[in-house]
C-alpha cells in the first residue's frame, strides 16, 4: 500500500489534509454539488471528521474507498475530491468517483482528474477494469464518462432508494484494452 500523488498540467491529486477543511466544506455543503452523490450536505464538523478519517489512508486495500484531494496547482486550493475503491474480491477492478466544487465545474478539471486516475490505474500490473455507477439524471457525469471513453453497460431502473425517492442508475466501465485504444489515437 502507498500514499498516492498524481500530477497533471493543472492539478495535484493527493491525500486530504486537515488544512483542506474550509475549501472541502465550501463545496460539500452545497446542495447542488451533493444532488447526485451518495452523501448529503455536510456540516463543518462532518467535513473535519471525514478528512480526519481519510487523510492517512493508503491506496491498495481492496474494498476500501480512499478519498483524495484535487488541488489546483496555481492557487494551491482544494477544488474537489475524488475516490478510488479496489474491488473487494478482485483488485484488478476499481470503482471511482469525482466531486468538484460548484465554482470549478465546466473548466475541464473533472476530465483531467479522470484521465490521471485512469492513467494511474491502468499502469498497475494486471489491472483490468474501471467501473462507474452514475445517477441516470446526472447529465454532466454521463457526458464526462462518455467523453473519457467509458461504455454504458447497464441501466438499472429504480434500483436505489435515494434521498427520499427511487432513483435509476447507469453502469459504465472501461477495460484496459479500451484505455490502450484511446492512447493510440
> Is residue 2's pLDDT more than 90?
no
Is pLDDT above 80 for 103? Answer: yes
Q: How confident is the model at residue 134 (pLDDT cuts 50, 70, 90)?
A: very high
Average pLDDT of the residues in 134-144: 94
Of the candidates 59, 41, 63, the one whose C-alpha atom is nearest the C-alpha of residue 50 is: 41
Distance spanning both ends of the chain, measured CA to CA: 33
pLDDT over threshold 80, residue 1: no
Position 8 scores a pLDDT of: 97
pLDDT of res. 54: 95
Strand partners of residue 10:
none
Question: From the centroid of its chain, how far is CA 161?
Answer: 21
Longest dimension (CA), the chain: 46
CA angle (140, 141, 145) in 5-degree steps: 120
Encode pLDDT of 105-120 as tens digits: 999 999 999 999 999 9
Return the beta strands (E) in the chain as ranges: 6-7, 11-15, 65-72, 78-86, 93-100, 129-135, 151-162, 165-175
Strand partners, 161: 166
Q: Cα separation of 84 and 6, whole Å?
A: 13
pLDDT above 80 (res 38): no
pLDDT tens digits, one per residue of 49-102 = 999 999 999 999 999 999 999 999 999 999 999 999 999 999 999 999 999 999
Q: What is the pLDDT of residues 120-129, one digit of tens each?
A: 999 999 999 9
In this predicted structure, the answer to whether residue 26 has a pLDDT above a threshold of 70 is yes
152 - beta bridge partners? 172
User: DSSP 3-state assignment of 98?
Assistant: strand
Split at pLDDT 50, 70, 90, the class of 46 is very high
What's the pLDDT score for residue 164?
86
C-alpha cell at 12: 495535484
Q: What angle do CA 10, 109, 123 make, to 5 degrees?
A: 75
Cell numbers for 124, please give them: 498497475
Which residue is associated with the grid cell 489534509? 17
pLDDT on residue 3: 80
Q: How many residues does the chain have?
A: 185
User: Rounded mean pLDDT of the chain?
Assistant: 94
Q: Give the pLDDT band of residue 162 (cuts 50, 70, 90).
A: confident
Q: What is the DSSP letter of 36?
A: T
- CB count in 10 Å sphere of residue 95: 17
Cell numbers representing residue 113 in the block? 482528474
Amino acid at each position: 500500500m502507498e500514499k498516492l500523488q498524481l500530477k497533471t498540467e493543472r492539478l495535484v491529486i493527493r491525500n486530504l489534509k486537515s488544512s483542506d477543511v474550509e475549501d472541502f466544506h465550501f463545496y460539500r455543503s452545497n446542495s447542488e454539488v451533493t444532488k447526485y452523490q451518495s452523501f448529503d450536505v455536510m456540516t463543518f464538523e462532518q467535513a473535519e471528521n471525514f478528512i480526519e478519517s481519510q487523510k492517512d489512508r493508503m491506496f491498495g486495500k481492496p474494498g476500501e474507498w480512499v478519498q483524495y484531494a484535487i488541488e489546483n496547482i496555481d492557487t494551491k486550493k482544494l477544488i474537489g475530491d475524488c475516490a478510488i475503491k479496489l474491488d473487494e474480491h478482485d483488485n484488478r477492478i476499481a470503482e471511482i468517483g469525482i466531486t468538484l466544487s460548484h465554482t470549478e465545474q465546466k473548466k475541464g478539471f473533472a476530465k483531467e482528474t479522470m484521465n490521471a486516475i485512469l492513467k494511474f490505474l491502468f499502469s498497475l500490473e494486471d489491472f483490468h477494469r474501471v467501473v462507474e455507477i452514475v445517477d441516470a439524471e446526472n447529465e454532466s457525469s454521463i457526458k464526462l464518462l462518455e467523453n473519457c471513453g467509458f461504455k454504458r453497460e447497464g441501466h438499472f431502473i429504480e434500483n436505489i432508494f435515494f434521498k427520499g425517492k427511487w432513483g435509476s442508475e447507469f453502469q459504465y466501465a472501461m477495460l484496459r484494452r479500451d484505455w490502450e485504444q484511446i492512447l493510440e489515437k
